[in-house]
């Protein structure tokens, strides 16, 4: 009699593998779980304690482009890219020691077509049947994600490069603008003004012994030249203040405070020590321009006549703050501004960002405003700036006078006509001998060491070594020489910086020629003396 099978059994059913493996016959609970495993969209591999694949679902077969029969019994490590196999073995060691917790790792698999597949492997131990351990790995394909991340990195790098190029272009445009300003200012300062001063000196020579009507006519011409010199100087400093480039940012801000008081009746207090200066010309010019724009905004909008400017340094970060106690404003209104509104402040903010800096605005209606501009310093290599103590010269001048010998003078100026006019003027002076002339700082140092003059007349603004740089070197080489600083700038602009560099006295070229004679002889009455105080002749400038 044939034996009847019990319901729910059948010869075609395979024994379940540890952890739920095997291919059960249809209809059982185990069968349904296996179908979920096999049809899951996530690739799975079940491996035994020795690392051999017990089961691979269809998603894994598709991912690695292999059949189930090929994968079954294959050591899982053989699917791993050779460069990552040591990592996979370590991954499994960590999984065995994990006490049931999942272990994650990133590695590459090899497909049937030998392409690399970047995956994230999530492996955890599975319940055992008392005979063997098993480990279930979820294999998450990261290829597309890695490509997206690579594309994002590439986009970020491209954006960073574009931003860098934009910053470089903005800096170049700013330098081009400043260079053009300085070029025009140099034409006014180094050519036009020098010509007028030379003419004024020659008029003085012609009028020394002429008849009274001629002297009066020459005096009138000198007055006209004085007005022309003053107009040319005002235009030059507004285009590009030489004090900013020759004496530094603190001196430039001090000049700006005087200019705001004279031009706009705004009283500006400046807190900027010498230690806050920078040799980074781009940062120096940008902070100066920002201060000028912000102070002009105070004049237009704040309703007050007082403001403060503070310059600070922390490592290589420069911070400029401009504040007032006026009517203030809502900072959020800057973001809602129409084209043309708040353009000055927004331009400062954009330029600061392009230079890797920032702008912080603190204000509220009726509570004043404080705007802080911060940039990084990138100084260009250049000569070290250091102060040199000035040696006293009154005793030397007195000794020369007692000995009855002439004062030997070296003239240093890059403008030939000015040198010629000064030589002609001093030739008429008794006890004054011009022993040499130089058109640059480098030449001046050589001439001074060779000729050993008593007095050097030193122009402040020269190409190459500036007058201040040359004065520092000259003071170190010849500590007893008397140095008279000369410039088209008024004493309050360039005088203190020139004295700090080591000059004994400072004069404006537009002043009275007799002041120069007194300065050479060591008499009182020059524009700025060694103590930095202004004398009466400054008013003639």
- pLDDT at 306 exceeding the cut of 90: yes
- Token code pair at residue 343: 């353009």
**Do the beta carbons of residue 169 and residue 350 sit within 8 Å?**
no
Residues 14 and 22: beta-carbon distance below 8 Å: yes
Position with higher pLDDT, 491 vs 358 = 358
Give yes or no for a contact between 446 and 420, defined as CB atoms under 8 angstroms apart.
no
Answer whether 0.75 is exceeded by the pTM. no
Q: Are 70 and 46 in contact (CB under 8 A)?
A: no
Q: Which residues pair with 55 in a beta bridge?
A: 46
Answer for the pair 468, 460: CB distance below 8 angstroms, yes or no.
yes
Closest CA to 472 of 369, 376, 382: 382
SS (H, E, C) 43-78: CEEEEECCCEEEEECHHHHHHHCCCHHHHCCCEHHH
Least confident range of 226-230, 310-314, 384-388, 431-435 = 384-388
For the ranges 6-15, 412-421, 532-541, the maximum mean pLDDT occurs at: 412-421
pLDDT for 63-105, tens place per residue?
999 999 999 999 999 999 999 999 999 999 999 888 788 999 9
Pairing of strands 505-508, 103-110: unpaired
Give pLDDT, residue 222.
67
Query: Six-digit token pair at 468?
Result: 């201040």
Ranges of beta strands (E only) in 428-514 are 432-438, 455-459, 482-487, 505-508
Which tokens belong to 520? 């050479």
**What is d(CA 384, CA 469) in angstroms, rounded to the nearest whole number?**
9
Beta-sheet strands, E only, within 102-145 = 103-110, 116-126, 134-141
Please give the Cα distance from 193 to 20 (Å, whole number): 99
| pLDDT tens by residue, 154-209 | 888 888 777 777 766 766 676 666 666 666 666 666 666 666 666 666 666 665 55
Contact (CB, 8 A) for 134 and 128: yes
Mean pLDDT lowest among 19-33, 89-103, 254-268: 19-33
- From CA 281, how far away is CA 243, in angstroms rounded? 13
Range in 25-29, 41-45, 199-203 the model is least confident about? 25-29
Structure confidence by residue, pLDDT tens digits, 280-296: 888 888 899 899 989 99
How, if at all, do strands 369-376 and 358-363 pair? antiparallel
Given a contact cutoff of 8 angstroms between Cβ atoms, the answer to whether 261 and 254 are in contact is: no
The H-or-E segment that residue 267 falls in is strand 267-271
* Helix (H/G/I), strand (E/B), else coil: 517: helix
From the list 110, 113, 137, 129, the residue with the least C-alpha distance to 40 is 137
Structure tokens that stand for 516 in this block? 């120069």
């Amino acid at each position: 009699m044939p034996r009847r099978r019990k319901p729910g059994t059948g010869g075609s059913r395979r024994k379940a593998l540890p952890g739920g493996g095997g291919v059960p016959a249809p209809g059982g609970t185990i069968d349904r779980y296996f179908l979920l495993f096999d049809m899951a969209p996530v690739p799975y591999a079940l491996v035994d304690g020795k690392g051999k694949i017990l089961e691979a679902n269809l998603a894994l077969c598709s991912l690695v482009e292999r059949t189930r029969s090929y994968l079954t019994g294959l050591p899982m490590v053989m699917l791993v890219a050779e460069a990552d196999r040591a990592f996979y073995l370590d991954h499994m060691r960590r999984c065995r020691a994990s006490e049931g917790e999942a272990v994650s790792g990133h590695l590459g698999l090899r497909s049937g077509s030998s392409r690399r597949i970047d995956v994230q492997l999530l492996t955890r131990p599975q319940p055992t049947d008392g005979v063997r351990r098993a480990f279930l790995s979820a294999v998450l394909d990261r290829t597309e994600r890695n490509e997206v991340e690579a594309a994002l990195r590439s986009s970020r790098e491209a954006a960073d490069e574009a931003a860098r190029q934009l910053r470089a272009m903005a800096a170049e445009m700013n330098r081009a603008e400043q260079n053009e300003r300085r070029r025009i200012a140099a034409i006014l300062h180094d050519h036009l003004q020098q010509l007028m001063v030379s003419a004024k000196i020659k008029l003085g020579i012609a009028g020394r012994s002429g008849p009274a009507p001629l002297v009066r006519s020459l005096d009138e011409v000198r007055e006209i030249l004085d007005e022309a010199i003053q107009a040319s100087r005002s235009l030059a400093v507004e285009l590009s203040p030489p004090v900013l480039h020759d004496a530094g940012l603190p001196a430039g801000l001090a000049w700006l405070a005087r200019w705001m008081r004279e031009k706009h009746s705004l009283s500006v207090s400046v807190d900027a020590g010498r230690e806050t200066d920078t040799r980074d010309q781009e940062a120096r010019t940008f902070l100066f321009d920002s201060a000028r724009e912000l102070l002009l905004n105070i004049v237009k909008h704040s309703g007050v006549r007082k403001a403060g400017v503070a310059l600070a340094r922390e490592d290589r970060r420069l911070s400029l703050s401009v504040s007032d106690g006026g009517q203030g404003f809502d900072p959020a209104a800057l973001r809602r501004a129409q084209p043309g509104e708040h353009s000055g402040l927004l331009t400062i903010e954009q330029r600061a960002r392009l230079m890797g800096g920032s702008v912080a605005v603190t204000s509220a209606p009726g509570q004043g405003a404080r705007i802080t501009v911060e940039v990084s310093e990138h100084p260009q290599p250049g000569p070290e700036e250091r102060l040199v103590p000035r040696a006293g010269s009154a005793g030397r001048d007195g000794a020369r006078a007692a000995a009855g010998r002439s004062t030997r003078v070296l003239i240093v100026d890059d403008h030939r006509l000015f040198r010629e006019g000064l030589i002609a003027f001093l030739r008429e002076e008794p006890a004054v001998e011009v022993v040499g002339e130089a058109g640059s700082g480098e030449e001046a140092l050589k001439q001074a060491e060779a000729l050993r003059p008593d007095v050097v007349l030193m122009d402040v603004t020269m190409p190459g070594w500036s007058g201040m740089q040359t004065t520092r070197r000259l003071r170190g080489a010849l500590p007893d020489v008397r140095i008279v600083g000369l410039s088209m700038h008024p004493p309050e602009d360039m005088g203190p910086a020139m004295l700090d560099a080591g000059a004994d006295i400072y004069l404006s070229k537009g002043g009275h020629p007799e002041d120069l004679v007194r300065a050479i002889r060591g008499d009182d009455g020059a524009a700025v003396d060694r103590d930095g105080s202004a004398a009466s002749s400054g008013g003639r400038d």
